[in-house]
């Protein structure tokens, strides 16, 4: 199979809506973390039946989010993988685009809350868990620069590491950064 693309960018509201389903988000998380999984393995992660999971995988494949990996030696298992190294959601103007993006964000935030609450207080990494909320007054150019710098920071820490390729002593860390403009845009925009 050909080398994977660097990034899949979703801007179509229907594609964004397609990834908003919690089971699909869970599958995407694992596949984009470098794992190659069968529908049965994905079903175990997502809490669904293998046939329901196959339906979800095919829907994600239609949008170019996941793809078939090389078939196993016995040919019965049909594994799936991420079709790129990263997935970006680019909200489009209009009601449909905003609703789709909001659904996807809601699912991601719910998953993050689950991850926060699942960590036992006795975990030695618990002190590193954080959530920071800030209100910044930025120009449009400054907001674009902030996005660029945050993406560069995350890319630097990703360093090609994945569930199947990371140094000893590392641990998976889930991140979610959000930037939302509030109020009305300045009149000079």
Q: Say how far apart CA 136 and CA 144 lie, in whole Å.
A: 13
158-176 average pLDDT score = 87
For position 53, what pLDDT does the model report?
95
Distance CA 101, CA 95 (A): 10
Q: What is the structure's pLDDT at 114?
A: 86
How many other CB atoms are found less than 10 A from the CB of residue 170? 8
What is the model's pLDDT at position 93? Answer: 67
Q: What is the pLDDT of residues 19-67, one digit of tens each?
A: 888 899 889 989 998 899 999 999 999 999 999 999 999 999 999 999 9
Prediction pTM value:
0.70
CA 138, 149, 115, 81 dihedral sign is: positive
Q: Per-residue DSSP letters for 125-144?
A: TGGG-----------HHHHH
pLDDT in tens, 134-156: 899 999 999 999 989 998 998 89
Is the confidence at residue 98, as pLDDT, over 80? no
Rg (CA), the chain: 18
Contact 19, 25 (CB under 8 A): yes
Average pLDDT over residues 68-85: 81
Q: Which of 106, 142, 92 has its CA nearest to residue 25?
A: 106
What pLDDT, on the 0 to 100 scale, is given for residue 158? 83
Does 110 score more than 80 pLDDT? yes
Residue of 172, 7, 3, 176 lying closest to 86 (CA atoms): 7
């Amino acid at each position: 199979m050909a080398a994977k693309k660097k990034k899949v960018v979703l801007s179509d509201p229907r594609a964004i809506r397609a990834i908003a389903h919690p089971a699909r988000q869970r599958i995407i998380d694992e596949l984009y973390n470098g794992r190659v999984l069968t529908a049965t393995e994905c079903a175990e992660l997502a809490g669904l039946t293998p046939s329901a999971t196959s339906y979800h995988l095919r829907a994600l494949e239609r949008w170019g989010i996941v793809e078939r990996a090389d078939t196993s030696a016995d040919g019965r298992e049909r594994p799936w993988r991420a079709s790129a190294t990263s997935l970006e959601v680019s909200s489009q103007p209009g009601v449909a685009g905003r609703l789709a993006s909001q659904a996807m964000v809601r699912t991601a935030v719910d998953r993050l809350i689950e991850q926060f609450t699942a960590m036992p207080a006795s975990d030695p990494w618990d002190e590193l868990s954080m959530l920071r909320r800030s209100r910044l007054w930025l120009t449009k150019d400054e907001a674009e620069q902030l996005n660029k710098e945050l993406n560069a920071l995350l890319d630097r820490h990703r360093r090609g590491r994945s569930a199947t390729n990371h140094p000893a002593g590392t641990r998976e860390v889930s991140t979610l950064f959000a930037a939302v403009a509030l109020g009305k845009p300045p009149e000079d925009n």
